[in-house]
Amino acid sequence: MSRWAAVLAGGSGTRFWPLSTRTAPKQMLSLTGGEPLLRQAVQRLHPLIPPERIVVVTAEALRQATCRLLSHIPADNILGEPRAASTGPALTWATFLVAQRDPDAVLLSLHADWFVGDDVGFRTAASKALDVAEHRDVLVTVGIVPDRPDVGYGYIEPGETLDRDARHIVRFTEKPPLEEAKRLVDAGALWNSGLFAWTAARFLTETRAVAPEISAGLAALESDDVRGFFEAVTPIAVDISHFERTDRSAVVQGDFPWDDVGTWSALARIRSRDDFGNVLVGDVEHRGASNCVVWAEDGPIVLDGVHDLVVVRANGMVLVTTKDRAAHLKDLLAALPARLTAIDDTKGTPS
């Protein structure tokens, strides 16, 4: 079987506002240092999967920018969703198209906006997942060994051994309270990373069997009507539409540094900090500040005697919040006047 990859690269630009925007969402930013996250994600697949067998699913409005960022990926492999409908429909579309080109394909599914601290460890786990998907004919998820109880992640409880590299799945628990997260970690549960593998044939069979929210649109795909497919489906995450319903799933353990970089405060886990625990990017000066995340994109920032803050200056806007409240940035943006959130990032000022 040929190995393929489907990279999820949509984004609304809310999680790292005001640096991220509708036209430059999280995956197109260099949040972890170096290349943009999307380019890192694709480069990380080498030499496991060649560029001509990498499919990228993004928003229709981001397709041209994605093509420019990934110029070595065939343009026909970069798919623009006409409507955001979560990961279940997106991956069904990608898997359907891959199956048309290569009916015997086995796919790796990954998100474009992760931090991965060990590319070799990532590819090792991914390769095991692909092998299990092919040889055991199951849907596979890679579970990350937690280094802390975290209420922002989903958890997988592994069950009986399936083979040397995989175990059956007992249950999924999505974003539990802290005490439950501690119990799960102590019991050997794994973080649900969102790194998946399956054969195209098995995934589409399970779509028809357990995912009515998506299977309702398959006839449109078979008629080459992508817009009709997205109009027919109900938005749903693939974790729910497939993994929580199928009886043909397994988990492979991934023991490599991983973070989904979900909030500004997450940068404190993945970027270098100064002697006072601060993450400082750009022209930043401080006196007596500690445990802050500060990003100066378009001008200097000065901090004096403050602690545990997130301060961002980008696109003509300034955000000041606490590290704890940074997790609720999406709610904040929904409550703000449109004049503050409609950033024209080509000019660096609110539009």
The count of other CB atoms within 10 Å of the CB of residue 337 is 7
Answer for the pair 89, 159: CB distance below 8 angstroms, yes or no. Answer: no
Q: What pLDDT, on a 0 to 100 scale, did the predictor assign at position 344?
A: 52
pTM: 0.94
Torsion of CA 48, 53, 54, 59, to 10 degrees: -170
Residue in the block written with tokens 């005490």: 179
Antiparallel, parallel or unpaired: β 54-59 and 3-8: parallel
The count of other CB atoms within 10 Å of the CB of residue 294 is 25
Q: Which two tokens stand for residue 28?
A: 């197109």
| Vertex 132 angle, CA 114 and 3, to 5° | 65
Fold of 3-259: Spore Coat Polysaccharide Biosynthesis Protein SpsA; Chain A (3.90.550)
- Least Cα distance to 12 among 288, 338, 341, 316 occurs for 341
137-194 pLDDT, tens digit each: 999 999 999 999 999 999 999 999 999 999 999 999 999 999 999 999 999 999 999 9
Phi-psi region of 220 (alpha: psi -120 to 50; beta: other; left: phi over 0): alpha
- Least Cα distance to 171 among 196, 147, 143, 135 occurs for 143
Domain ranges, ordered by start, for the chain:
3-259, 264-350
Answer for the pair 79, 212: CB distance below 8 angstroms, yes or no. Answer: no
The amino acid occupying position 263 is T
Answer for the pair 254, 156: CB distance below 8 angstroms, yes or no. Answer: no
Residue 139 CA: distances (Å) to CA of 45, 96, 131, 210, 321: 20, 15, 11, 13, 40
Residue 180 CA: distances (Å) to CA of 79, 175, 199: 39, 9, 34
Q: Using CA atoms, how far apart are residues 317 and 314, in angstroms rounded to an integer?
A: 5
Consecutive 10-residue averages of pLDDT for the chain (351 residues): 96 88 93 95 98 98 97 98 97 98 98 96 98 98 96 95 95 95 97 97 98 98 98 98 97 95 95 97 97 97 98 96 94 89 52 32
The count of other CB atoms within 10 Å of the CB of residue 101 is 14
Q: How far is the first Cα of the chain from the last one, in angstroms, to the nearest whole number? A: 50
CA within 13 Å, CB half, 310: 22
Answer for the pair 193, 201: CB distance below 8 angstroms, yes or no. Answer: no
Antiparallel, parallel or unpaired: β 78-81 and 54-59: parallel
- Least Cα distance to 194 among 134, 135, 151, 240 occurs for 240
Q: Using CA atoms, how far apart are residues 28 and 36, in angstroms rounded to an integer?
A: 5
